[in-house]
Copies of this chain bind each other. A is one copy, B any other.
Amino acid sequence: MILAFYSANRGLGAWEPALRQAMPEVELRAAPDLGDLEEIEAALVWRPPPGWLAALPNLKLILSQGAGVDHILTDPLRPRHVPIVRLVDPYMTRSMVEYVTFQVLRLHLKEPEFRRQQQDHVWRQLVPPSARDRRIGILGLGELGAACAAALVALGFDVAGWSRSPKQLPCVTSFAGEAAFDAFLARTDILVCLIPLTAATRGILGRATFDRLPRGASVINAGRGGHLAEADLLAALASGQIAEAVLDVFETEPLPADHAFWDHPRIVVTPHVAALTNPVTAAEAIAANLRRLAAGEDFPDRIDPDAGY
């Protein structure tokens, strides 16, 4: 079997040895040296240019290099009959759990205020509420959202989640569908965005959402830059409706050096590192999917293009 590789922002680099070790029987071809396009049956991609996938006439499987597939679905020319499989890697899930746990604790424990106090040489003991009185709201209770919810429950937080369909997760209050969105927001002190980016969720972190949170709530975006209406966030921070924001993803990445977020005293910027794909561990999941393709089996992590995830 021949696997074509394309990434918009990193080379084959660490992928090559990882993929060769996990699947020695597969021939790897990195763009642009793809040889005879008719021979290619599978593609492992990150943000492929429009038409790139359509140029592979015998393509049978599209594998995402990340947990999200929005970077594939935005290609209007992508072949509609080819299954798309997202990357589910326990390593990546753990990485997201660490990031979200850390950023929630940062906001819960008032770290931004202590940092400002340190800058001003101020010694003032601020007392956070008990974790059980801190209401965390997770937008999206899929693979990543559910794992983060469990870690926050273990620390004693009051955790709820919002998703399209109801979820049964231990000690996590489930809010489902449009009708429950306002109630979910009204009880959320720290909002964590981990939802897939689709037409329905684009801009979900915008004024209408911010206005429905309790005054002084905080926001963590570890989803996609497209979830956030940037001007709305700046306005909500200026008015005090939102107290602090932690952003790992941005509409334009890398975040331009002159962007207002960098110097904002109430925004923490991290460079899309919450759940970086690790080729060594990801290669195992990819190899398993190629074996399913060879055996004619179905793909458990196949996405529904109509839902967008």
Question: Interface on A for B, CB 8 Å cutoff?
Answer: 91, 94, 97-99, 101-102, 105-106, 108-109, 111, 114-115, 117-118, 121, 123-127, 130-131, 151, 154-156, 253-255, 257-259, 262-263, 268-273, 276, 278
A296 to chain B, nearest CB (A): 34
Q: Is the CB–CB distance between A105 and B114 below 8 Å?
A: no
How far, in angstroms, from A127 to B98 measured CA to CA in the complex? 13
Q: In the bound complex, how far is the Cα of B97 from the Cα of A254, in angstroms?
A: 35
- Contact A118 B273, CB 8 Å, known A105-B102, A109-B98: no
In the assembly, what is the distance between CA of A155 and CA of B105, in Å?
A: 14
- Measured between alpha carbons, how far is A258 from B121 in the docked complex, in Å? 8
Which residue of B91, B118, B272 contacts A269 across the interface (Cβ within 8 Å)?
B118
Known contacts A94-B156, A114-B270, A270-B114, A254 near B123 by CB under 8 Å: yes
| Shortest Cβ distance from A126 into B: residue | B273
Instruction: Assess A276 versus B155: contact at CB under 8 Å? Given A102-B105, A109-B99.
Output: no
Question: Within the assembled complex, what's the spacing in Å between the Cα atoms of A207 and B269?
Answer: 35
Smallest CB separation, A222 vs chain B (Å): 12
- For the complex, give the distance between the alpha carbons of A259 and B123 in Å: 12
Query: Is the Cβ of A102 less than 8 Å from the Cβ of B94?
Result: no
A186 to B99, CA, bound (A): 27
A260 to B54, CA, bound (A): 61
Interface pairs A-B: 8 shortest CB-CB:
A123-B254, A102-B105, A123-B271, A121-B257, A121-B262, A118-B269, A114-B270, A125-B271
